[in-house]
Chain A
Amino acid sequence: MEHGGNLVNRTIMLPASVDEAVEALAVTPGAVPVAGATDLMEAVNAGRLRPAALIGLGRITELRGWRYEDGGTAVLGAGLTHARMDRPDFAALIPALADAARTAGPPQVRNVGTLGGNIATAAPAGDTLPVLAALEATATLARAGGVREVPVSHLLTGLDPLRPGELLTWVRVPLLHAPQVFLKSTGRSGPARATASVALVLDPARRGVRCAVGAVAPVPLRPLEAENWVAGCIDWDARGAEGAVLIDPAALAAFGEYVAGACVPEGGAHGEGSGSAAARLRRTVAVLARRALGRALK
């Protein structure tokens, strides 16, 4: 069935707080929380999803902003829209997330699509996901009578999935106060789905580089060996000095190849592509990773 009156005689609840929302989830099995609905309603309209009930999260204002914790962590509401994350105050805090939000789609989608929705949908090309993976963000899952904290990457991979009755409420992101870059390749100038994306953050306090590649696999991939290797190639002490060369250009290129080799297997990213398609994707990832690190260290 392609179409249908999917919402005829169906329940829609509009809780005003997280407590009300988890209560509604607990008492209505099969209810689906909905925020911006940019992915969810497409699935409903196409007949792929027929939720028994919808819980609209739009009235929960507490989830639409962020707060600080311990001086080093930002706690982002799941209801933060892409448009909000693109604003200068947010971009100054977590630049890579702002970059990802800015390129996530046309303004109509960015105005309503949320951070929590991007995680819950877990689309391979979800733009904020590689950034959250690189930042090693964690998610707060609320349920009636309690909360738990799960790394976002565990949610995405299904290692520790969202359980029935749980609502994604907050995302914890470390504030690194250092350059961060998100780059995506789409093949066009207008908004589009990424064919590959790379998020890269510097962590000068720990002298680390963290990187994640999006859209080439069902979940963002972390090239951990490449990260460790390249962190050792960077002249951390020269940071901030006028005209300092932080990394050998050859190391930049090698980093790109290293990342691509780690994230795009031979013989196709999705298992079915021809060898040349995989080679092209590798090349694209290598270019993105090289440029991302180059921009971060500029």
Chain B
Amino acid sequence: MTSATELPAPAPADPGTGTTGLGTSPLRTDALPKALGIYPYAADLWAEGLLWGAVLRSPHPHARILSVDTAPALAIPGVHAVVTAADLPAGPDGTPDGAPTGQVTADRPVLAAGVVRHHGEPVAAVAADHPDTARLAAAAILVEYEPLEPVTDPEAAFHAPPLHPDGNLLRHLPLRTGDPDAVGEVVVEGLYQVGRQDPAPIGAEAGLAVPRPDGGVELHLSSTDPHGDRDRTAACLGIDPDRVRLVGTGVPGATTDREDLSFQVTLALLALRTGRPVKMTLTRAESFQAHTTRHPALLRYRHHADADGRLVKVEAQVLLDGGAYADVSAEALASAVAFSVGPYTCPNVFVDAWAVRTNNPPAGRMRGEGALQACFAYESQLDQLAKQLGIDPVEIRRRNAMTTGDPLPTGQAVTCPAPVGALLDALDTTPLPALPLDDPEADWLLPGGPGGAGDPAAVRRGIGYAVGMVHMLGAEGEDEVATATVRVSGDHATVICAAVDSGQGFATLARQIVQSVLGVSEVYIAPVDSDQSAAGPSARSRHTWVSGGAVERAALMVRHQMLQPIAADFGMSVELLTINDGKITSYDGVLGMPVSEALEGRELWATAQCRPHPTEPLDPETGQGDAFVSIAFCAMRAVVDVDIELGAVRVVDVTVAQEVGRALNPRQIEDRIEGAVAQGVGLALLENLRTEGGVPVNASLTGYRLPTALDTPDVRIAALLEERDVVAPFGAKAVSAVPAVVAPAAVAAAVRAATGLPVGRLPILPEDAIAPA
């Protein structure tokens, strides 16, 4: 019996397979320490003489700040600094109270000045010698507010007085293609609503800022975009980006951007102001206020189809609630518009989409932003069409399914593999789960959970299907690039790449890539910091592609340097040599030399970049353009049991078929799919950060219902289709976002099948699933 703190013997690196490299399933190296609770996160950091930071947040969703009096806070013993917007350097154009910042669109103040635009917006911050002192001092700051009427209805935002100098319309994107007068034999209409999903990461925001002797600052936090965050932080602090260093710590959950900018700029400012290290950890309640959520959406759709169910025309209006600040709303909107029809072909598409500013919590990046909301709407429409025409829901999808080469409504041809029909076919190769038995021992299988009120007589089973898509990498002309360095010395290799392993498994993948190319088994992945070359954010499913591609290129360059002299000696080309298990062998078996011998004590280095082909912005009048690098597709079958008297829903099983290009690490792919399905099921049935007058009412882990193990279905993988994407490194597609996009639509379809009700909003509340017997 080992004690809890003692590490058990390390598991073999890749059980079962006996090989390393791409296509195998090695365990993550951080899996064991994370499971044992000994893996260090930012909240565990410590520095000699550190101070503790605390933030004062607005209690109003919309108010004018009449005055801020920091004197009562400064009078508290142990308080070292209090900062407000007035302490921030002027912006580049001379604007007082600091330069605005933000992802994609910079319109958010680091600390509110003059006006607060959402509940929980940071107004001031304190550094003190004890966390409780810091919090008490923050609460002692006197802020006089004049509450203003909050704009909380996104539809009212159009006509409301501007909440921000940039106005309330964050983006309007129309899409026009085909004949506006086309008419189908059947027409179905629907209004769809998606609630506010919070990323609710398992670890709340935390960080440590250490002032540097050169007047700069070092930030230790779980940023998922170290270079972007460095540049934005430096801009807000008015110092050179080279003087800000971001050191990545373990990321405790990230399905969105980690650590909002206000958090890290404030932290850095406190450290610079006091000249001492400052640590800040947010409470769970603050965490809900600090990070961005998924965009709540309202979607109105009209589908025209012929008698066979083939789409003739799709008309849609999409409204995204961006909350108080723009963040990535413009990107999310582009996704919602470009994928408004889904993975189907339709000649005539007319969409108008708006993202608007309100006084609700700001919305931002979150797995498949924009694409997810559209998927729920177009898949609900297809279900309606199938019902009206009496066609099987799978058949109607098959009839409209897009294939490689078909155009998106934006005019872009889908050149990557798009085997939508094959994905649908693959689902039914996996048998359906067994029906629950009328057995008291099996009552835990009923909706309502173990010990619940479930009654087998009132349970109806429903099976629903959904297909969806989401783009990978930055869109609309964004420069996508990552840089990586690979070094080989002795019998091991090192990868230096600033791509953050946010839990998606990039470190494991980088190790596999180098093992594959260089044949060395021991690969060290250097910790990420912003002094390394940039690799960009861990978002938009990009690291497998750009950073993985850069690591592969660098490794290939090292391989060439290593093999070139040997090949020359033997008078053969480099291509005839292979490296396996640390040994270089020639095609004819004459040569067999260990890698360490070939290196002759040298170190070989190479740095390479990967930059996928460029994209272009969508036309602001017609929504046309080649805006995306590549697209991922996924099909799902959800099986639910609904207690139609109580409206309790249990998702029994979700079966997934996904196009992955090439399965680089099958187990990791399955993990990612399981996680994404759990998050999708959460949005479908449970998760909704509700607001009343702009104030969140359930911002706690008691009130905000995350799926537990009992709410999460069995997830089965029917197929991982491996049709190489020729332009992608390794031919592989990203895997994490698209299952999260499709799962809510699949669950909604299944509830629809079980109850016969239309199901027009997410999450599906019990009252939406109570049906006549």
Interface residues of A (CB under 8 A from B): 1-5, 8, 42, 46, 99, 102-103, 106, 183-193, 195, 280, 283-284, 287-288, 291
Contact = CB atoms under 8 A, between A and B. Distances in A.
User: Which of B452, B458, B702, B708 neighbours the largest number of chain A CB atoms within 10 Å of its CB?
Assistant: B452
B707 interface: yes
Given A5-B130, A5-B133, A46-B285, A187 B765 contact: yes
A191 B708 contact: yes
B639 interface: no
B453 A190 contact: no
B449 interface: yes
B130 to A, nearest CB: 7
A72 B140 CA distance: 58
B767 A280 contact: yes
Is chain B's interface secondary structure helix, strand, loop, or mixed overall?
loop
Contacts of A287: 453, 458, 645-646
Given A4-B135, A42-B702, A187-B647, 17 more contacts: A2-B285, A3-B132, A4-B139, A5-B133, A103-B449, A103-B450, A184-B453, A186-B648, A188-B705, A190-B449, A192-B705, A280-B767, A283-B770, A287-B453, A287-B645, A288-B453, A291-B455
Interface residues of B, number: 36
6 contacts: A46-B285, A103-B449, A106-B708, A185-B448, A186-B448, A186-B648
B346 interface: no
B705 A1 contact: no
Interface in B281-317: 283, 285
Interface in B381-427: none
Contacts of A99: 451
Contacts of A186: 448-449, 452, 648
User: Which of B130, B133, B448, B702 neighbours the largest number of chain A CB atoms within 10 Å of its CB?
Assistant: B448
B766 interface: yes
Contacts of B453: 183-185, 287-288, 291
A8 to B, nearest CB: 6
B136 A1 contact: yes
Interface string B123-146: 000000010110110010000000
The 9 closest A-B pairs by CB, nearest first: A5-B132, A190-B708, A189-B449, A183-B453, A187-B766, A190-B710, A189-B710, A103-B451, A3-B135
A106 B711 CA distance: 13
B582 to A, nearest CB: 47
A42 B703 CA distance: 13
Contacts of B458: 287
Nearest to A287: B645
A189 B285 contact: no
A190 B687 CA distance: 13
B31 interface: no
A280 B770 contact: yes
B664 interface: no
User: Which of B54, B455, B646, B650 neighbours the largest number of chain A CB atoms within 10 Å of its CB?
Assistant: B646
A162 to B, nearest CB: 25
B709 interface: yes
Contact of B711 (A42, A183, A188): A188
Contacts of B709: 190
Nearest to B131: A5
A4 B132 CA distance: 5
A42 to B, nearest CB: 8
B685 interface: yes
Contacts of B451: 99, 102-103
A103 B452 contact: yes
B285 A188 contact: no
A184 B648 CA distance: 11
Interface in B90-107: none
Contacts of A184: 452-453
Given A3-B135, A8-B132, A189 B448 contact: yes
A164 B421 CA distance: 72
B686 interface: yes
Interface string B692-709: 000000000010010111
B447 interface: yes
A185 B705 contact: no
A46 to B, nearest CB: 7
